Chains A and B, each alone.
Chain A
Amino acid sequence: MAQEGFDGIELVVRTMAQTAVDNETYFSELDAVVGDGDFGYSLARGFEIVLATWDDLDRSDAATFLRKVAVIITSRVGGTSGPLWGTAFMRAAAAAGSDRIGAAEALAMLRAAITGIKERGQSDVGDKTLLDALVPAVDALEGYLAAGQGAASAVTAAAKVARASAEGTSSMLAKRGRAAYTGERSIGSPDAGAIGVAVMFEQLAGAWPG
Chain B
Amino acid sequence: MKKFVNDPKDFVPEMLRGIALANPATLRYVPEYNLIMRADAPSENKVSIVQGSGSGHEPAHVMIVGKGMLDAACPGDVFSAPPMDYVLETTKLLNSPKGVLHIINNYTGDRMAFDMGREMAEAEGIRIGTVIVDDDVAVKDSTWTVGRRGVAGNFFVIKAIGAAAEKGAELDDLVALGNRVNAVSRTMGMALTSCTPPAKGSPLFDLGDDEMEMGVGIHGEPGRRREKLASANEIVDELLEAVASDLPFKKGDDVALMVNGLGGTPISELYLVYGRAHAQLTARGINVRRNYVGEYCTSLDMAGCSLTLVRLDEELSSLLEAPAEIPNRIF
A residues sitting closer than 8 Å to B (CB atoms) are 63, 67, 70-71, 74-75, 82-83, 86-87, 90, 93-94, 120
Interface of A: prevailing SS? helix
Q: Which residue of the partner chain, among A63, A67, A86, contacts B84 with CB atoms under 8 Å?
A: A86
Q: Is B83 an interface residue (CB 8 A)?
A: yes
Contacts of B112 in A (CB 8 A): 83, 120
A-B pairs with beta carbons under 8 A, tally:
33
Give chain A residues whose Cβ lies under 8 Å from the Cβ of B84: 71, 74-75, 82-83, 86
Which residues of the other chain, B, contact A90 by a CB distance below 8 angstroms? 116, 119-120, 123
The 0/1 profile, CB within 8 Å of A marked 1, for residues 113-125 of chain B is: 1011001100100
B85 near A71 with CB under 8 A, answer yes
Which among A63, A70, A75, A90 has the highest number of chain B CB atoms within 10 Å?
Answer: A75
User: Can you list 5 A-B pairs with a CB-CB distance of less than 8 A?
Assistant: A74-B84, A75-B86, A83-B84, A83-B113, A86-B84
Evaluate contact between A71 and B120: CB separation under 8 angstroms: yes
Smallest beta-carbon distance B130→chain A, Å: 16
Are B83 and A75 in contact (CB-based, < 8 A)?
Answer: yes
Cα A120 to Cα B83 in complex, Å, equals 16
Q: Is B64 an interface residue (CB 8 A)?
A: no
User: What is the CA–CA distance of A204 and B113 in the complex, to the nearest angstrom?
Assistant: 30
Inter-chain CA distance A86–B83, complex, in Å, is 12
B199 to nearest A CB, angstroms? 16
In the complex the two chains form, what is the Cα distance from A87 to B119 in whole Å? Answer: 9
Please tell me if the beta carbons of A67 and B123 are within 8 angstroms of each other in the complex. Answer: yes
Q: How far is the CA of A86 from the CA of B113 in the complex (A)?
A: 11
**Contact, CB under 8 Å: A70 / B83:** no
Smallest beta-carbon distance A93→chain B, Å: 7
Q: Does B88 contact A (CB under 8 A)?
A: yes
Q: How far is the CB of A43 from chain B (nearest CB, A)?
A: 16
Q: How far is the CB of B79 from chain A (nearest CB, A)?
A: 16
Q: Find chain B residues with CB under 8 A from A83 CB.
A: 84, 112-113, 116
